[in-house]
Structure 1
C-alpha cells in the first residue's frame, strides 16, 4: 500500500474526528512577562515568514519567547471561526516580537488536503492571507461540494493520486478561487498533483496525532505544550497571558 493510499484511509478516519473538541490535554505552564522585540528595519514581524524544517511556515520573530502553533483543518467550521476572530489579533501579538505563530495543517478529508496543497502553492509570503481567504470561502466551497454529489465526489477520490486533488479542487471551485488570488491555473494544478507534498502533509498529521493525541481542531501548542480545553480565541487569550504575553 502506498503512503498516499494509507493517507486516504487516515483521512477517512480523521473526517470522523471532532472539530473543536479537546479533552485531557496538558495545560501550558505560566511564564514571566516577555519583553517586546523590534523587527528588522523597514519591516514588521507579521510580514516576516520563514520556511520551517517540517515544510510549514513560521510567522514572526524566529527567536520569540512564546511560540504559538495551531493545528487546523480547512474543512472545520471551528477553525474557520477561529481564523475570522483571531487572525488580526495574532498579527498584533506577532508584531510585538514576543510571539511567533505557525499554522500546521491537520487535514481530515480529501477536500481538506486539496485546500492545504493550494494554500501553500503561492509560497510563504502569501500563505497566511490565502489561508484566511480559504477559511472565509468555506461555506461556498461546501455548497459546491454538495452540488458535486456523491457520484462526482467518489469519482474524484477514486482517481489516481496525482489526479485526485486536482479533480476535487476543480469540482468544488478551489482552482478558480486560487486563480482570482494570483495563482495561475497551471501552477495550481501542479501543486495539487504534487504527490510527495501530499504525503508530507499526511506524515505531519500522523506525527501530530502520535505526539499530541489530538482530539479535535483547532488545537494549540504554546512553547511545545498542548493547551487544555482551548478551541477559540476567547479561551486562548488567557493562556497566552499566562505564558507572558
Structure 2
C-alpha cells in the first residue's frame, strides 16, 4: 500500500486552472501493506460521517464508472487504486480472482473500479485506460497491473504505456488526443479528490464495501467477512 501527501496549489488556483493544478508528492513506499488501525487484517471501518449524502452516493456505482459484474448485485465494492501501486497489482493478481469466483460471478457483488493516481505515470496510465473500448477496460487495467514492473520504472513510462495502448486497439493519434483531453484528466483527478475528501482515502488500494472501508491488499477471507455481512 502506498502512502501519499498531496495538495492543491491554492483554492484560487484551482478555480482558475481546475484539477490540473494537482501536484503529487509521494512518501517512501512501505515494504508491506499497513492498513489504518480500524481496517487492519480486513476489519472494516465506517466511512466518515462527514459527507453524509455524498458518502452514500459515492458508495454506489456512478455514471461513468467501470463496473465488473451484475449492476444489480446487492453488494457494491468500490476499489480506489493507482496503476503504479504494487499492492494494487498484488490484489489484482492474488485476491481479485477468488473474489470474482466467489462473489462477482455469482451475482452477489459487483466491483467498481475508480482511479486514485499516486504519481504522473499513474495518471497517464489512467488516461489511456479511459480511452480503450468499455468492454476492454477491465482487461486493459489487468494487463497494466501485470506489466507494471516493466513500464512503471521506465525512463519514459508514457512510451511504454503506448505499446500496451496499441495492443488494446488505440492508434497513436487516438492516444495523443486522449492524453491531452482535459475532460478525461478532470474525471480521473475528481475521483481521487472525492475519494480523499469523502472517504478519507490516503493510500491504495482502498475499498468501500457498501459504505464500509477496507484498506490494503487484504486476503479473500477479510473481504468475505465484510461481504457476507452485507448479503441479504
Class of the TM-score when normalised by the shorter of the 2 chains? 0.7 to 0.9
| Aligned partner (choices 113, 124, 139) of residue 149 of structure 2 | 139
Change in Cα spacing, 1:230 to 1:143, as seen in structure 2 (3 Å) is: closer
Cα pair distance change 1:117/1:71, threshold 3 Å: same
2:15 corresponds to 1:6: no
Max Rg structure: 1
TM-score in terms of structure 1 length: 0.71
Give, in whole Å, the separation in 1 of the partners of 2:197 and 2:66. Answer: 21
The question of whether the paired residues in 2 share the 8 Å contact of 1:59 and 1:101 is answered with yes
Q: How many Å separate the matches in 2 of 1:233 and 1:179?
A: 34
Check conservation: 1:28, 1:222, Cα contact below 8 A: no
* Pairwise CA distance, 1:242: 3.1
Q: Where do 5+ consecutive residues of structure 2 fail to align?
A: 1-12, 47-60
CA distance in 2 between counterparts of 1:202 and 1:120 reads: 12
TM-score by length of 2: 0.75
Q: Which residue of 2 aligns with 1:208?
A: 195
- Residue ranges of structure 1 left out of the alignment (5+ in a row): 30-51, 149-167
Alignment RMSD (CA, Å):
2.3
**Aligned pair in 2 of structure 1 residues 86, 124: CA closer, same or farther (>3 Å)?**
farther
Q: 1:162-186 CA deviation, whole Å, 9 max, x = no partner?
A: xxxxxx512xx11112102322222
- Number of the residue aligned with 1:157: none
- 2:152 counterpart SS class: helix
Matched, 1:16 2:24: no
